[in-house]
Structure 1
Amino acid sequence: MNNLKKAISAGVPVKMVRDVVNRLRFGADAPQSDELIWVRARDVANWYKPDPDNGAPRYRRRHSGIVAAGDWDLSRKPFGSQIKLDSIRDHFERGVPWQQTNLFDWMLKQISEKGRIDGCHTREDLIERYERLDRIYDEAQRTGTLRPHGSVNETRGEQGGILVHIARDGTPLRDGGGMHRFAIAYVLDLQKVPAQLGVIHSEAVQAGVMAELRKGPVRR
């Protein structure tokens, strides 16, 4: 029953119908919901900027695999400074201890105000979380890539991973979720990073962009 509730919450029934419709529209190679794709971290220069009044809907993970026309993909904001990325760079590039980063303080504040964030309820939980990030970083540095979120967490496809929308020209646009893993990939300048397909522009599908997005890394 719990698994059924989670599936409904994640929009799985709707996604399954979407996958069938995509195949009917675009053939066997059509994009699929929660699909694993691969992008270069530093090719992501912009966030997708929701602007519903001007044709840029607010997309969530449940919209994964939607093929959308229009100018939604032109609504962007520069990646710029971001507390998680900046703090992860401080830690791994400059040797700043986690507990001295702005991110650690911000996370503690969120726990104090909300009781929980990213599965952490206490300071000890945070310390354990960032110790795990150190291990993820070490493995990514050694192997040249990150393991797909789905292979580690046994989710439906790459559900819960780094969420990326694909613009008409194949440009990846970040949108929520997976920021810690993405920041590690960005710091290491990984050439192939696993991501969850978000919404993809119809022109990108027609141009055959999915073939390139499906190419994983060459293992060392």
Structure 2
Amino acid sequence: MATIAKKLQFQYIKNGKKEVLATTFNHMVHQIVYRYNKRNISEHDGLPKIIFVDPDDVRYSTIPEPYLPHKNAEAFVGELGGVWDRFQKDFEDLKLYQSLKNRFEKGYPWEETVMYQSSVWGIENGLSTWNGCRTKSELNERCKSLDKLYIELAENGYSQSGVPIRKLEHSYADQTDQVIQVGDYLIPDESRVGIGRHGEYIRLGGGKHRVVLAKLLDIEKIPVVVLIKHTNVNRIC
């Protein structure tokens, strides 16, 4: 609830009452979808599964609401019908994508990108922002780390962790920087995706920056972990 309250506070300060009402309505809708999803998710023998995809094929990202948990014990893994795959946004419409594109393809200083500017505004108003940055110093360090990541990917390509998926045995004690829990499994900390009704890849969580940079660098293949597939789709590839 504290996170939701912070989001509403952020929206009210920045955009006014109408935005707060819209955000509240969207949250209510997503909670209804979440409850439907929780009742109707079913196990699938082939999931979760690591596959390799063209980053340009990861065209969508879920709208950032907790209607499809994608990490920890609450994560959804399996086959699911309904409208979960309709709650999506085109990757290229994300502020993050636009900001990284402007930074690395057009040479913008970080200070002129939307992500940086909105983060500074949030910091000045006492709100947690991009990757939890609470000070400009933390924000600048975050930007430096992305500069380094871009150079590393450009020079060396996308390196996968090589960690296999396995059944959970000792809960959080088994987790590391490279391994996270999803439901009853431990998986590599790669981008987690669902496969929508038309076979489209929808990012559910994790690896957003890496996916965007892989797109910008025209990297041929990246590893993703499929957690969910729509009941209308037969393939997991």
Specify if TM > 0.5.
yes
Q: Map Cα deviations across residues 129-170 of structure 1 (whole Å, 9 max, x no partner).
A: 111111111121123325459798233244764332112453
One-letter identity of the residue aligned with 1:81: D
Highest RCO, 1 vs 2 (Cα 8 Å, sep ≥ 6)? 1
TM-score (norm 1): 0.64
1:7 corresponds to: none
Equivalent residue for 1:165, pick from 160, 182, 194: 194
In 1: Cα distance, 2:227 partner to 2:151 partner: 28
TM-score (norm 2): 0.60
The unaligned stretches of length 5 or more in structure 2 are: 1-40, 165-175, 181-185
2:101 corresponds to: 89
2:140 corresponds to: 127
The count of corresponding residues between Structure 1 and Structure 2 is: 177
Q: Map Cα deviations across residues 163-185 of structure 1 (whole Å, 9 max, x no partner).
A: 32112453201345533222112
| 2:115–2:130 CA contact under 8 A, matched in 1 | no
Closer, same or farther in 2 for the Cα pair 1:154/1:47, shift >3 Å?
closer
Equivalent residue for 2:47, pick from 5, 8, 31: 31
The unaligned stretches of length 5 or more in structure 1 are: 1-17, 24-29, 52-56, 213-220
Equivalent residue for 2:178, pick from 139, 143, 154: 154
In 2: Cα distance, 1:107 partner to 1:196 partner: 29
Q: Whose strand proportion is higher, 1 or 2? A: 2
2:27 corresponds to: none
1:181 corresponds to: 210
2:18 corresponds to: none
Task: State the Cα distance separating 1:49 from its structure 2 match.
Answer: 5.9
CA RMSD of aligned residues (A): 3.4
Q: Helix, strand or coil for the counterpart of 2:108? A: coil
Closer, same or farther in 2 for the Cα pair 1:80/1:150, shift >3 Å?
same
Q: Map Cα deviations across residues 94-130 of structure 1 (whole Å, 9 max, x no partner).
A: 1111122121111122233314541422111111111
In 1: Cα distance, 2:132 partner to 2:159 partner: 21
